[in-house]
A and B are shown apart, each in its own frame.
Chain A
């Protein structure tokens, strides 16, 4: 089955929804695809118990005439075409313009015990709970870094979790300097104040992190390291994430130039969100972690530019610059303490798919060599977790992705014809 869209948007989060709305409002035939079963992305993920935020409701309801392609996983690319798997079946989607709003994933760092059931990402547990994971009455420690910890803790509490504390690795000086700067972004300052109010009574510790998780076949206790030493506490869940990393696999496969100042690649775009590849635009977290407001404004610019409405897109550039400066501030004040890179011991499993310990990787300076010799990064996640962690730890960068960029059924791969040139190469 092949469908054709004037503008095809990959990712139904805030950036993708804004792009779709902007393009559709100018008469384009728009398709929005997302691997998740519902639109919203991560920030606006459907919550089985609580009504969505007003902004989310508005973004998702005002999109008449847009095709919703949820449960669609991109597998490979072709000539202005994506090969997608939906309900276990192959679908080809042709496009005039493509908008990559592929978002971000959490940065998860290895430490002893991080493979125990009960240890999750911070945003990870938030997502699971929104989709009905039973958390009421459970003792949860939230740890890692960044404003997401507060948002996750507030969600967990709203669902009845007993949040024992939030442990932020950044120092208190750094956080207080950040808070002073926040006044230049009043909307965000109000948001932060609201979150703190929702978290009244939950201790927020700085310069602190979870160093060890223990338990037999599930999490029982964790060790917390902070300015006043190390303590052990009992909990049911440890929700730990060290910020976000752009999802650039599809952009990379399409040949879009990647760049960025940090350790992890991000999609390079010009002021109209155009990538280095003709007819391919990108917006939001994929272009560098910037948060919700950045994603929405960039999505709108990309949607307009992808429809050829450059003049209107240009009117939004100043606002985009303002939001991106906030992102730079975040990076600066929540930068990771290098001590976190020493948490994993030689026995700690780095590649969770293939059970490869850190000690097995000592002799390698290259992801491909390590993979061939140890199977590190060869499992189902395709190195998304271990490769990103090893890059952050300063071991070696992740290999460039090849298609299929997600595991797919044989029937899907078999359906690829010669127009899916990258798939031929990948196989």
Chain B
């Protein structure tokens, strides 16, 4: 890990992301899917700007957070498909 990166945990896996990167980007780096729709379809970010709510994940225990609107921080715990 370089000084310009932060390390967060996604579904128990460590991911290094550049400072300023979104949680959505960090999830894409690990290549896991983000959430499922009510009928079970896999979904991923659509709008990239906090409008569509397709990127909702659990961050540090709080559910329903938009991964595209939150910057990755050192030690952050993220759970997808929750």
Residues of A whose CB lies within 8 Å of any CB of B are 35-38, 42, 46, 48-49, 88, 105-106, 108, 115, 117-121, 123-128, 131-134, 217-218, 349, 352-355, 379-381, 384-385, 407
Contact = CB atoms under 8 A, between A and B. Distances in A.
B43 A381 contact: no
Nearest to B50: A35
Interface in B24-46: 24-26, 28-29, 33-34, 37-39, 41-46
Contact of B53 (A46, A117, A131, A379): A379
B58 to A, nearest CB: 13
B44 A48 contact: no
A105 B49 contact: yes
Given A117-B43, A355-B37, A37 B69 contact: yes
Contact of A133 (B24, B38, B39, B64): B24
Interface string B1-21: 000000000000000011111
A38 to B, nearest CB: 7
B47 A353 contact: no
A37 B48 contact: no
B69 A132 contact: no
A135 B70 CA distance: 19
A121 B19 CA distance: 24
B43 A131 contact: no
A217 B26 contact: no
Interface string B43-74: 11111111111101000001010001111100
A132 B71 CA distance: 10
B48 A123 contact: yes
Contacts of B62: 88
A385 B55 CA distance: 14
A49 B56 contact: no
Contact of A126 (B17, B22, B37, B48): B48
B47 A37 contact: no
Given A46-B20, A49-B18, A132 B46 contact: no
Nearest to A127: B48
B52 A385 contact: yes
Contacts of B18: 48-49, 132
A164 to B, nearest CB: 20
B41 A355 contact: yes
Given A105-B47, A120-B48, A123-B48, A355 B68 contact: no
A416 B42 CA distance: 36
A195 B47 CA distance: 23
A354 B37 CA distance: 7
B52 A352 contact: yes
Contacts of A353: 37, 53
Contacts of A117: 33-34, 42-44
B42 A217 contact: yes
A128 B22 contact: yes
B37 A120 contact: no
Contacts of B52: 108, 352, 381, 384-385
B63 to A, nearest CB: 10
Nearest to B56: A380
Nearest to A119: B46
Contacts of B44: 117-118, 120, 218
Nearest to B40: A355
Contacts of B53: 353, 379-381, 407
B20 A48 contact: yes
A381 B70 CA distance: 17
Q: What 9 A-B pairs come out closest when comparing CB atoms? A: A132-B21, A117-B44, A132-B25, A127-B48, A124-B48, A380-B53, A131-B22, A128-B48, A133-B25
Nearest to B62: A88
20 contacts: A36-B49, A36-B69, A37-B70, A38-B20, A105-B47, A108-B52, A120-B44, A124-B45, A128-B68, A131-B24, A132-B18, A132-B29, A133-B24, A134-B29, A217-B42, A218-B44, A355-B38, A355-B41, A385-B46, A407-B53
